[in-house]
Amino acid sequence: MRVISFNANGIRSASRKGFFDWLATQDADFVCIQETKAQVDQLTDPEFNPPGYTCQYVSAERKGYSGVAIYAKRPPTRIVTELGLPEFDQEGRYCAFEYPDLVVASLYLPSGSAGDHRQESKERFLAAFLPIMAEYRQHNQPFILCGDWNIAHRELDLKNWRSNQKNSGFLPHERAWLDQVFDELGYVDAHRVVAPDEAVYTWWSNRANAWENNVGWRIDYQIITPDLAGRVQSAQVYRGQKFSDHAPLIIDYQD
């Protein structure tokens, strides 16, 4: 079972850069996309609804902002497009496909890098979303939560960690929040199951040739319930082509 998570930084832009041509070669079972930056009525071209997939887009009320999507080979029994958090639901930050034996979700966590007001929004999201994750653990159902979390968890997860300790995305309390997700709630970072000590990144600044020099951050994760940890077979970040300032995270699970 192949699951791909990808922040497109504009799905129409990623399309022009060859994303859908590449995706057609991947035989992915689930594709979770973040930051689509498009309204549903702007995505009527068949390219945005790949053949063989059930596709669901969740758009922000504000045009050209945020948005998530899921493509799945298996039609879900239920689709969820809101978290029940009005501030964030209007920004199109969550979509989940539910099945009797699995839930797959696409999440775009707020970034705080645009200023204090956005960091404050991010803090509100972290506070509200942790109880939702805790509640879901009570369901005892396999869960794959894909997304751009906008937090690098460990020093290993960004190249220039020393100079970023006071910057959004690597603040001590943000990292401690992920500690809670993993250590207290019991979720698992799927990538680290098979590559516990690999310095690998999923996002690169557009400044100072960061992509070319591989000076990046690992902020895109597939966070899974522990019952799935033993099914993780491989993990890779695809950098053969540049579709976005993020790269697709591909994880293969035993079906």
CATH number of the domain to which 175 belongs: 3.60.10.10
CA distance 3 to 23: 11
| 107-128 pLDDT tens trace | 999 998 878 999 999 999 999 9
**Type and span of the H or E element at 102:** strand 102-108
pLDDT at residue 32, as a whole number: 99
Q: For strands 30-34 and 2-7, give the pairing.
A: parallel
The count of other CB atoms within 10 Å of the CB of residue 36 is: 30
**Bridge partners for 143 per DSSP:** 103
Tens digit of pLDDT for each residue in 79-101? 999 999 999 999 999 999 999 99
Q: What is the mean pLDDT of residues 24-47?
A: 97
R_g over Cα of the chain: 17
- Cα separation, 238 vs 157, whole angstroms: 16
Report yes or no: 211 and 244 within 8 Å, Cβ to Cβ.
no
Percent of residues, the chain, with pLDDT higher than 90: 96
How many domains does the structure of the chain reveal?
A: 1
CA 218 to chain centre: 11
Averaged confidence pLDDT in the chain: 97
Judged against a pLDDT cut of 90, whether residue 140 lies above it is answered with no
Cβ proximity of 71 and 31 under 8 Å: yes
Q: Can you give the residue range of the structural domain that contains 164?
A: 2-253
Residue 172 backbone dihedrals phi, psi, to 5 degrees:
-50, -40
Query: What positions carry a catalytic annotation?
Result: 148
Residue 174 has pLDDT above 90, yes or no: yes
- How remote is the C-alpha of 226 from its chain's centroid? 18
The confidence band for 65, taking pLDDT boundaries of 50, 70 and 90, is very high
Q: Residue 6 is encoded by which pair of tokens? A: 């990808």
pLDDT tier, 206 (very low <50, low <70, confident <90, very high otherwise): very high
